[in-house]
A and B are shown apart, each in its own frame.
Chain A
């Protein structure tokens, strides 16, 4: 029998980026907030320290900061007529676990969506006609505009100490920044981080072809930086131990390094780690959540925590699973196209290339994971899709930094995988291989969705989320287009040879691709086709606010975290300025 605990004003289910943002904003508004985090605590001064963080085996191969699949995973199939099987060890995407969530091990690429991305269905229809969007492409306009959330993008930039060069400052285009971006009220808080040698070569070649290269914006401080929470972030050391690993100088922003130092000091905040939220207890008639049930994973004790406001801030899969288990909202059915929970799952479509420069020294081991030079000439609706046969796009980047010895040895196609010839090629090319990536959009499709698995259960007996996903034909065409543009730039760099790496036609969960899973609890203007309103408030429970990329209607050609953080601040503002005065629906359908 679960122990019923004393009421609190708000709980967050999970304490990653969005849980920390919401807890901080709500405690500042005077609420008592409890964060329930299923994983361990992670504290920069104790856990992000030298020399132990610079360990490729522990963090990058054995995935210390990632979810524990012995407790929880999901099942996967490409198509709805197949049998889904459990992902027994995560690979293609790596959701984090513990305080800070996926925001500790991320590459820290910090982007905004384009203004036209927020009204993508309208934009395409206006440009290409009412029949341009195929029936199965279920893309939607966001229920917020770029201009509305720009101040919240700006706020999140400042919390993270983002480094970059503005390309559009209040409408004025600036050479050397991303001239395709939406207007920014302010430049980035920090100057761009340094570029890799390969990145500089790529930028010069892209410019010679008439493109508009710029250093990627990253939530990595190029200089020591004090944020609005009174926390000072260190400057990037370019140490090379970055992706999948915590940053010991706190240059790479995480909730742990930017918000939690202040939040932990607030007596209105309480953190309970190793507490696994098993269920949202839903009063359907009253249209609200009355409490959350959780299991203390240290001893198995079960608790019921009543709360005035519930912030659902776990990863995409956990958010969808909680709604389906509690019966909040109608589950999506791909055959009838009815229902909303689990609808419009999308992902990031990444494909890359490698090129070889025997006469150039690239020093590939240093830098940060996100350190790259990009062009954004072929993203979203920044270019004309007339006659191309697809919609969407992405940015095209050369990173070639932070190449670790186990996973970062790039050799030309056809090189033996072992033996003396392999070894000679590995030594020959390690310092002379440049790597490239295209960060492509995935426009939602009717066939891609999440529901509950009928067979497999987690360690607490709850059905696993079942993911049905294969990139639609549209995305393969989009990716081929981006790769053709990338190939043109690579040729202009004059490599001795290069290899393009298109994705296989069926998605596989085995090799790492991207942790940018989106959708399932999408935001929208109409409760018949969305799960949350423009303030991330559930249409079916007015005290439930759902955070993170699960609210994206589709995935655009950018890393999601910048938009995730901005939406959290936007949602928090609606709660503290409006909802608290008169709890109830913030939007009337």
Chain B
């Protein structure tokens, strides 16, 4: 898979909005970011809350080149990138979800023990319950996403004539809203539940410690003014009553 992915590396960018014959990876790297504003100089150095970027002109590659996928296939990855870039758009506060590593985060989580259904009760019978009874599907989180993405793309093709990742941004916004509100009717799958997990995992990736692949360069922690994990606040709390405590965020890797 890596070789195949590398074959369509950044720089091949073409405006290929509706051309279904263009390989997916190439399409993504070109038009996938069109219409979204990305902070200047990105990739390695995202904007910080301290120095908000107001420029909306520059665009960059959607993700570092050659980043290996652990469990998502190309179609699934394209869907996730296209979704997280709408859920977390590039703007004056942060780069896009995929530029912050949210797609990488989701891929790694789904490939982890969690994605494989660790610590989850999986015995049948599988009966449809009340919402109050919680998740009742036989699927692991990885299977849930794989199945959900297929159902979402099928619905997207029926509704818009093409896969979700090939929709222009305004239609992707509309499609995600339809899923969130349960108006999108997936075949044999709950659109609302799927959207709920997609949003939760995207937000996790955006705000997690960067060791998990998202929140690149602690972009969301800088944006929030969250200092990460310094050693102690016992000596500073009283000095910062009604006064913002500002510190360069530190992550697990900074202490390792």
Contact = CB atoms under 8 A, between A and B. Distances in A.
Is the A/B pair a real complex?
A: yes
Contacts of B243: 361
B22 interface: no
A200 B204 contact: no
17 contacts: A51-B255, A56-B209, A76-B132, A78-B130, A89-B119, A89-B134, A237-B231, A237-B232, A363-B240, A405-B220, A406-B204, A417-B199, A418-B87, A423-B88, A506-B132, A508-B131, A510-B131
B79 interface: no
Given A85-B127, A89-B121, A89-B134, A406 B208 contact: yes
Interface string A74-102: 00111000111111110100000000000
B134 A87 contact: yes
A427 B49 contact: yes
Contact of B118 (A70, A240, A366, A457): A70
A55 B252 contact: yes
B227 A365 contact: yes
A363 B238 CA distance: 11
B229 A239 contact: yes
Interface residues of B, number: 62
Contacts of B242: 197, 360-361
B225 A63 contact: no
Interface of B: 49, 86-89, 91, 93-94, 114, 117-123, 125, 127, 129-136, 173, 176, 180, 199, 202-204, 207-209, 212, 220-221, 223-227, 229-234, 237-238, 240-245, 252, 254-256
Q: Which 6 pairs show the lowest CB-CB distances between chains A and B? A: A51-B255, A54-B229, A508-B132, A405-B207, A237-B232, A418-B87
B177 to A, nearest CB: 10
Contacts of B208: 56-57, 406
B91 A420 contact: yes
Contact of B114 (A51, A62, A431): A62
B136 A88 contact: yes
A400 B138 CA distance: 38
Interface in A189-209: 194, 197, 200
A426 B93 CA distance: 11
Given A70-B122, A89-B121, A418-B88, 13 more contacts: A50-B255, A51-B256, A56-B209, A69-B121, A70-B121, A83-B127, A84-B133, A239-B230, A360-B242, A365-B227, A406-B203, A457-B123, A508-B132
A508 B209 contact: no
B228 to A, nearest CB: 8
A52 interface: yes
Nearest to B113: A62
Nearest to A222: B234
A365 B121 contact: no
A86 B135 CA distance: 9
A193 to B, nearest CB: 10
A415 interface: no
A541 B91 CA distance: 68
A538 to B, nearest CB: 30
A361 B242 CA distance: 4
A414 interface: no
A405 B87 contact: no
Contact of A238 (B120, B226, B234): B234
A430 interface: yes
Nearest to B138: A88
A78 B129 CA distance: 11
Range for the number of chain A residues in contact with chain B: 35 or more
B133 A405 contact: no
A235 interface: yes
A9 interface: no
Contacts of A360: 242
Nearest to A407: B207
B224 A509 contact: no
Interface string A404-447: 01100100000001111001101100110000000000000000
Contact of A237 (B173, B234, B256): B234
Contacts of B223: 423, 427
Interface string A320-361: 000000000000000000000000000000000000000011
A89 B129 CA distance: 14
A512 interface: no
A238 B254 CA distance: 20
A471 B255 CA distance: 46
B146 to A, nearest CB: 18
Given A78-B130, A239-B232, A88 B87 contact: no
A363 B245 contact: yes
B132 A419 contact: no
Given A78-B130, A200-B241, A235-B234, A423 B94 contact: yes
Given A57-B204, A238-B237, A87 B232 contact: no
A270 interface: no
B26 to A, nearest CB: 27
Contacts of B252: 51-52, 54-55
A424 B123 contact: no
A67 to B, nearest CB: 8
A296 interface: no
Contact of A69 (B119, B131, B233): B119
A509 B91 CA distance: 37
Contact of B123 (A50, A239, A419, A456): A456
Nearest to B255: A51
A52 B256 CA distance: 9
A455 B220 CA distance: 46
A431 B86 CA distance: 25
B98 to A, nearest CB: 14
Contacts of A508: 131-134
A87 B121 contact: yes
A399 interface: no
A76 B203 contact: no
Given A77-B133, A417-B199, A418-B88, A239 B117 contact: no
A510 B136 contact: no
A91 B199 CA distance: 18
Contact of A423 (B93, B204, B230, B237): B93
A365 B236 CA distance: 13
A419 B212 contact: no
Nearest to A249: B232
Given A57-B208, A69-B121, A241 B229 contact: yes
Nearest to B87: A418
B38 to A, nearest CB: 13
